[in-house]
Chain A
Amino acid sequence: MMVDENSTGIWVIGEEKEGKLAPVTLELLTIGRQLADSLRQELVVVIIGHQLEHMSRLLVDYGPDKILLVAGEETRYFIPETYSEVLSALVEQRKPFAILFPATYDGRDVAARLAAKLGVGLAADCTDLKIDEAGRFVQVRPAFGGNLMAVIHQPTARPQLATLRPRMVKPNKSGRKVSPSVEYIKPRISAKPFTKSLLRTVREVAEESGNLDEAEVVIGVGRGIGSSENMRIVNHLATLLKAAIGGSRGVVDAGWLPHTQQIGLTGRVISPKMYMALGISGAVQHLVGVRTAKEIIAINKDPEAPIFKVATFGIVADMFSVIPLLAKELEPPAPQTT
């Protein structure tokens, strides 16, 4: 395969859902701006969806040179087969150097299909993306449950694709004074390539309990919680901390949390600022899911629980005695009556 040396531009594929921009898009733009600056190439953000007029003002501050909004009835709902076809047409036409996707359920799907369609490489679930001294695009990603980090290059094909895990960088306004150009594109689907349709979207996690990928604070619940009724006191604490709630395999298997909330080897890998483990013993299978958390707070009555070995702060105590005390500390003071 020949490398097209003329390929240029860092593309970021944003994620939009129900009219809202996923925060990971701004993280991708932040890292994309660094890559583009190192290479002296332009940074392009692509959003695919339905009604996207309000998108550009959410994106401008984060440094894109160009905003491509692909909006139409055909791309109203996320269908990876359609989205990858739209992107493939754009890529063939404009030949970018690299394309960054969020490592979300949707991002991984569309990136994989696009890579296969174009016959190019894709580094999945990266934790860092950079340009080396030789001007090569370098992708760093964990494997083997985070036991190993691999440094990846894609020397033989363009564009080079990568998905980036959420919360790897802080969204950073670029401070650039140049305003980006905005281009509207109608999606062009060659024919209806597949018979596939989205029938319904169902939310299983309460709106206020947030997204495990996006939340600054995640509370992890272990089997010690004992029943789904007891989840109520955790919910209360989560509200006070603006935390998302996840759990161990045991809690999910018991049906006390939906499967989407399982953290660990057979669940999700998260990188919150703080992970608060309540009654979590800390088996390896669970810990691989929280290794990149900045702080780990452990509350467990068993002083020998392995979670204490990785905790930045811990209390050896029954979570049922700690949670109410902590909640009381965090509750806003009752209004003063005079």
Chain B
Amino acid sequence: MRIVVCVKQVPDVAEIRIDEVTHTLVRAGVPSILNPFDEFAVEEALRIREKHGGTITAVSMGPLQAKEALFKCLAMGVDRAVLLTDVFFAGADTWATAKTLAMAIQKLGYDLIICGMKAVDGETSQVGPEIAELLGMPHISYVKRVEVEMESKSITAERMTEQGYQLIRATMPCLLTATKALNVPRIPTLLHQMAAKKKNVEIMKAVDIGAQREEVGLPGSRTQVTKVYTPQYRTGGGTILTSENLPNAVATLKELLKKERIV
């Protein structure tokens, strides 16, 4: 069983601040982390390997420093780590990213592909299903439980919906996208982390996956970001009442609910 896990290095979104004067994103000092949803994907791959055997390859597209995210995957226990890094890959949107990853995965070999349900920076949830489409395989998104049946080469998974879940079966090769409900990822020990740093992160460039310049990166992208800005959210300034006269505070709240036509 060849499992490929797609991962991404992202800024720790919870640490991002907006400069109140310039209204720009303050990224300095914001740590880069392995995308939290990818940790669930890696963990699930490890559990499947523990049960059914096989090998796990973690693959990422990004700048050279994205190696750090792959070291974490190695520390968690994946067998192999591949970084797709090339100036040609820069500026990729989801389509170009999916295309690049699909071309690499084709080279790496696969029976099962697991992605996080989304990256917390781009937040599109698109790359997983797009890879599946490009590789001509079914996908099950937003999974919260996965069962692998080796004999029938099939996956049975619970896919989260707005109000519950669907139980879906698909034959392998197949792609899954992981939610937080799937598992609790292991925290690698310091020893494992140190050992991982000594392991090799393989580098693959456009030429290694057979990608032409115009089909990847910015030239291969179909969407263009023409402008970015920081949105203005409310900064409070609302009426805050104390519990001193609670019945009065609650009555005020009721008035507000009435004014907003909620009751």
Q: Considering the chains assembled together, what is the distance between the CA atoms of A106 and B161 in angstroms?
A: 8
Q: How many interface residues does B have (CB within 8 Å)? A: 87
**A residues within 8 A CB of B253?**
297, 313, 315, 326
How far is the CB of A111 from the nearest CB of chain B, in Å? 8
Q: Considering the chains assembled together, what is the distance between the CA atoms of A105 and B168 in angstroms?
A: 14
**B residues within 8 A CB of A201?**
161, 164-167
**B residues within 8 A CB of A283?**
14
Is B164 a contact of A203 with CB atoms below 8 Å?
A: yes
- For the complex, is A7 an interface residue (Cβ under 8 Å from B)? no
Is A329 a contact of B223 with CB atoms below 8 Å?
A: no
Is A122 a contact of B94 with CB atoms below 8 Å?
A: yes
**A residues within 8 A CB of B229?**
148-149, 151
- Closest Cβ neighbor of A267 among chain B residues: B180
- For the complex, is A62 an interface residue (Cβ under 8 Å from B)? no
Per-residue 0/1 for A306-334: is the Cβ within 8 Å of any B Cβ (1 yes, 0 no)?
00111111111110011001100110000
Q: Considering the chains assembled together, what is the distance between the CA atoms of A56 and B128 in angstroms?
A: 34
Per-residue 0/1 for A272-312: is the Cβ within 8 Å of any B Cβ (1 yes, 0 no)?
01100000000111001001000111100101000011111
Is A152 a contact of B224 with CB atoms below 8 Å?
A: yes
- For the complex, is A180 an interface residue (Cβ under 8 Å from B)? no
- For the complex, is A259 an interface residue (Cβ under 8 Å from B)? yes
Q: Considering the chains assembled together, what is the distance between the CA atoms of A334 and B58 in angstroms?
A: 63
- Closest Cβ neighbor of A201 among chain B residues: B166
Q: Considering the chains assembled together, what is the distance between the CA atoms of A284 and B231 in angstroms?
A: 16
Per-residue 0/1 for A225-244: is the Cβ within 8 Å of any B Cβ (1 yes, 0 no)?
00000000000000011100
Per-residue 0/1 for A156-172: is the Cβ within 8 Å of any B Cβ (1 yes, 0 no)?
11000000000000000
Q: Considering the chains assembled together, what is the distance between the CA atoms of A155 and B223 in angstroms?
A: 7
- For the complex, is B190 an interface residue (Cβ under 8 Å from A)? no
- For the complex, is B20 an interface residue (Cβ under 8 Å from A)? no
**B residues within 8 A CB of A143?**
121-123
Q: Considering the chains assembled together, what is the distance between the CA atoms of A193 and B136 in angstroms?
A: 9
**A residues within 8 A CB of B168?**
196-199
- The segment out of A34-42, A90-98, A212-220 that lies at the interface is A212-220
- For the complex, is A266 an interface residue (Cβ under 8 Å from B)? yes
**A residues within 8 A CB of B22?**
none
**B residues within 8 A CB of A325?**
246-247, 250
- Closest Cβ neighbor of A156 among chain B residues: B222
Q: Considering the chains assembled together, what is the distance between the CA atoms of A200 and B145 in angstroms?
A: 14
How far is the CB of B32 from the nearest CB of chain A, in Å? 13
- For the complex, is B213 an interface residue (Cβ under 8 Å from A)? no
- For the complex, is A191 an interface residue (Cβ under 8 Å from B)? no
Per-residue 0/1 for A186-206: is the Cβ within 8 Å of any B Cβ (1 yes, 0 no)?
000000011111111111110
Is B138 a contact of A329 with CB atoms below 8 Å?
A: no
**A residues within 8 A CB of B189?**
none
- For the complex, is A19 an interface residue (Cβ under 8 Å from B)? no
- For the complex, is B134 an interface residue (Cβ under 8 Å from A)? yes
User: Which of A84, A150, A204 touches B228 (beta carbons < 8 Å)?
Assistant: A150
Is A116 a contact of B167 with CB atoms below 8 Å?
A: no
**A residues within 8 A CB of B137?**
194
- For the complex, is B21 an interface residue (Cβ under 8 Å from A)? no
**A residues within 8 A CB of B126?**
108, 111-112, 115, 122, 124
How far is the CB of B155 from the nearest CB of chain A, in Å? 9
Is B228 a contact of A205 with CB atoms below 8 Å?
A: no
Q: Considering the chains assembled together, what is the distance between the CA atoms of A291 and B128 in angstroms?
A: 26
- Closest Cβ neighbor of A323 among chain B residues: B250
- Closest Cβ neighbor of A322 among chain B residues: B250
- For the complex, is B236 an interface residue (Cβ under 8 Å from A)? yes
How far is the CB of B140 from the nearest CB of chain A, in Å? 8
Is B228 a contact of A149 with CB atoms below 8 Å?
A: yes
- For the complex, is B50 an interface residue (Cβ under 8 Å from A)? no
Q: Specify which of A104, A193, A274, A325 lies most central, judged by the most chain B CB atoms within 10 Å of its CB.
A: A325
Q: Specify which of A211, A296, A298, A326 lies most central, judged by the most chain B CB atoms within 10 Å of its CB.
A: A326
Is A151 a contact of B225 with CB atoms below 8 Å?
A: yes
**B residues within 8 A CB of A295?**
256, 260
**A residues within 8 A CB of B257?**
241, 274, 330
Nearest 10 Cβ contacts at the A-B interface: A121-B222, A116-B133, A317-B243, A259-B181, A112-B129, A124-B124, A116-B130, A204-B164, A194-B138, A151-B227
User: Knowing that A217-B262, A303-B240, A312-B234 are A-B contacts, what are 12 other residue pairs whose CB atoms are under 8 Å apart, sorted by A's residue number?
Assistant: A115-B130, A119-B95, A125-B124, A142-B123, A143-B123, A148-B229, A195-B154, A200-B167, A297-B256, A301-B243, A315-B242, A316-B240
